[in-house]
Structure 1
Amino acid sequence: MKISGVDIRPGNIIEYEGGIWRAVKIQHTQPGKGGAYMQVEMKNLIDGRKTNVRFRSAETVERVRLDTKDFQFLFHDGDMLTFMDKDNYEQISLPADLLGDAGDFLQDGMDVIMELYNERPISVQLPDQVEATITEADAVVKGQTASSSYKPAMLDNGVKVLVPPHITAGTRIVVDVYNREYVRRAD
């Protein structure tokens, strides 16, 4: 499906110069001279390269639809991750760097969505939020009472996040996987 270059939104998957790219960030710019354009930061889904491209409103790009399938994460073996298709129980191993930083939040038995292009897996989506346990939390600095004061804490998976002052070690919290931010205390 063809779309105008200025209609690209973050998360869109487009075909550009023979590759499959995901729009990561966009910025609409209207300079004093010349026409408006969309500055798009894109990541190649096959080899991981990043690029910035300017699209004018007259330009069109092909928007790609990916097939999605439900998979379950089984185990981590060196730098490979093994997933199981929830429909036919077939197993597939993928390189860990395919998940990027979100891979730190992968847990055994976690349900994920795999995106496929021509039957080839090109990305794995984790749930937006996961539960984790705080293993270490810095002490609250006395007199630091501003409502926006957060303190650093270490999660059981080795990720550091900022948490409110009342959160202590051993507390289960909900964390945003892609922004690496504290969301709320787990129920």
Structure 2
Amino acid sequence: MATLLEAINVKRKMLFEFENEPYVCLDSDISTPTARGGQTLVRLKMRNLLTNAVFDKTFKAQDRFKEPDVVFVPASYLYSDGEGSHFLDQESFETHTLTPDMLGDALDWLLEGTMLQIRKYNGNPIGLQLPIFVELDVKYTEPAVRGDSSSGSVTKDAELETGRVIKVPLFIKEGEKIKVTTETGEFSSRA
């Protein structure tokens, strides 16, 4: 029998099944009543892994969820075309095609050969688990001008080789390789 997970034990980034669909917890807030006989409630901010819809829902502390049949399979990004984006499963060597809806903004961080994980639900690909950091070249950025920091702005725009534009410190130059956090899209360090 599948393990059941109580709502009060659901933490950030945990996977659970609700109404026969897989979800990931984005945030959890427990409110304990002060009155006698009151019920402890758990407010979950959750994302549906099939539709990417995000919403808040309140549950009783003792409500139970099944663990979803979600597995993460190592894969590499091959290319994108009119059908979608293609990934090579590193275990079975099958090619999986994911639609733009399944990817979100993941292509902003991917180059050919990037290693990542494909998220499968009941054996079918439903999305990606990106690496925490990616290393990308700065394709274009304005040169830093002496005295720029006096205006209070200590960052500038930089276009990455994937086409994504992010904020970087003034010392970053065109052609440099930088490390970017995929979850927030922020500059982390020089690579």
Q: TM-score scaled to structure 1, two decimals?
A: 0.86
Structure 1 unaligned regions, length at least 5? none
Among candidates 156, 161, 165, match of residue 166 of structure 2:
161
- Map of 1:118 onto structure 2: 122
CA contact (8 A) 1:140 1:151 kept: no
CA contact (8 A) 2:111 2:162 kept: no
Among candidates 177, 182, 185, match of residue 172 of structure 1:
177
Among candidates 14, 17, 27, match of residue 15 of structure 1:
17
- Map of 2:68 onto structure 1: 64
- Map of 1:3 onto structure 2: 5
**RMSD over equivalenced CA pairs, Å:** 2.5
Residue 16 of structure 1: CA displacement?
0.8
- Map of 1:75 onto structure 2: 79
Residue 117 of structure 1: CA displacement?
1.9
- Map of 1:41 onto structure 2: 45
- Map of 2:94 onto structure 1: 90
The range that moved more, 71-80 or 35-44, is 35-44
Residue 100 of structure 1: CA displacement?
1.2
Give the % identical residues.
26
CA contact (8 A) 1:13 1:65 kept: no
The range that moved more, 176-185 or 121-130, is 121-130
The range that moved more, 68-77 or 56-65, is 56-65
The range that moved more, 177-186 or 37-46, is 37-46
Q: How many residues are matched?
A: 186
Residue 91 of structure 1: CA displacement?
1.4
Q: What CA distance in whole angstroms lies between the structure 2 residues aligned with 1:152 and 1:44? A: 32
- Map of 2:108 onto structure 1: 104
Residue 176 of structure 1: CA displacement?
0.6
Residue 179 of structure 1: CA displacement?
0.9
Summarize the Cα distance change of 1:164–1:32 in structure 2 as closer, same or farther, 3 Å threshold. farther
Q: What CA distance in whole angstroms lies between the structure 1 residues aligned with 2:79 and 2:148? A: 45
Q: TM-score scaled to structure 2, two decimals?
A: 0.84
Summarize the Cα distance change of 1:14–1:88 in structure 2 as closer, same or farther, 3 Å threshold. closer
Please tell me the residue identity of whatever aligns with 2:60: R
Structure 2 unaligned regions, length at least 5? none
